[in-house]
Structure 1
């Protein structure tokens, strides 16, 4: 990977999904190489070999683009576990999330979180987009748990439902990665499962 965006202007122009993926990849690369504060829409456009107008046709601003790039990566790498039981589904999901935090995504997430306090726009976009995927997967697991009579239905959609996900994210922010299996077991067995189990 070269450090100069100018070198990436060469080559055939891309359109549609191919162009969008190139833009999102450029945003992720720029976040790692330059940091959010120094990353510009001009730089991303040059790295993706497209025009700045092509970026603004899809995203309103830099924050929206950067956070969408992160969310797209997460959505491409995660799926909802279906083991047949709520506890093992949650265990599998938290392990997948922990592994993701120990990957390229973890570096990207840390870069965004480092800038959140300096950019209200980025903070708002991060809350709106970035933290939806994990809780969305939890909601699907929780819905199935309700159908099987394993969890308390009145907690669906509340903060209590996403406590395990939130604690895992806090572990990453405060202690970093990798996150050990023992941490996941502690989150589930000590805090989360006693809170949400039916009966």
Structure 2
């Protein structure tokens, strides 16, 4: 690459993060090396080290850009049930492949760092940001669909946790029937019993 066409700033960073994402998907954490990423991006390792001194710094930047920066839309349909079903559809549509791939590709990262998927999720989520289901419940309270009272975060987030489990167990999208059954037969009765 000549000096006249050398990438700098945001253009170079975008190229590096694109290359890092491709390397992560293709080779997993064990292949997520400065050498592999620099070669894929068409740059040098010192360029990467200047921006991200540690491999895990580059990993977090890559995950924030390709996963954490794309929040799942939280609907406001006017109905608690419809909000929950629509949100689960949005999560299923937007994250099934990504969640299963990330879980598989980051096993070595979790082992090496002694962390887990929850720790990773929490590090990618803006501090203090409510979950999608916390926002859905808050909307329902504001509309008067639910009483304004304390609720366990486990109960509030149960549909998402069940969805994530189903995705990881089956490694595919969930059915409309599964979503409706989870909301109608598990979550809403539990939420209203509190």
TM-score for both structures, normalised by structure 1:
0.74
> Is the counterpart of residue 15 in structure 1 residue 9 in structure 2?
yes
Kindly state the Cα deviation for residue 29 of structure 1 after the two structures are TM-superposed: 0.8
Preserved CA contact (<8 Å) 2:84 2:136: yes
Preserved CA contact (<8 Å) 1:145 1:151: yes
Preserved CA contact (<8 Å) 2:27 2:105: no
Are residues 54 and 147 of structure 1, via their aligned partners in 2, closer, same or farther at CA, if it must alter by over 3 Å? farther
1:185 alignment counterpart = 180
Unpaired stretches in structure 1, ≥5 consecutive residues: 1-6
Are residues 154 and 192 of structure 1, via their aligned partners in 2, closer, same or farther at CA, if it must alter by over 3 Å? same
1:3 alignment counterpart = none
Preserved CA contact (<8 Å) 2:25 2:105: no
What SS does the aligned partner of 1:197 have? helix
Q: Say which of 157, 174, 178 aligns to 1:162.
A: 157
Kindly state the Cα deviation for residue 13 of structure 1 after the two structures are TM-superposed: 0.8
- Higher CA-based Rg: 2
Paired residues, number? 187
Preserved CA contact (<8 Å) 2:29 2:109: no
Unpaired stretches in structure 2, ≥5 consecutive residues: none
Kindly state the Cα deviation for residue 142 of structure 1 after the two structures are TM-superposed: 1.9
- Aligned residues: CA RMSD: 3.3
TM-score for both structures, normalised by structure 2:
0.76
What SS does the aligned partner of 2:29 have? coil
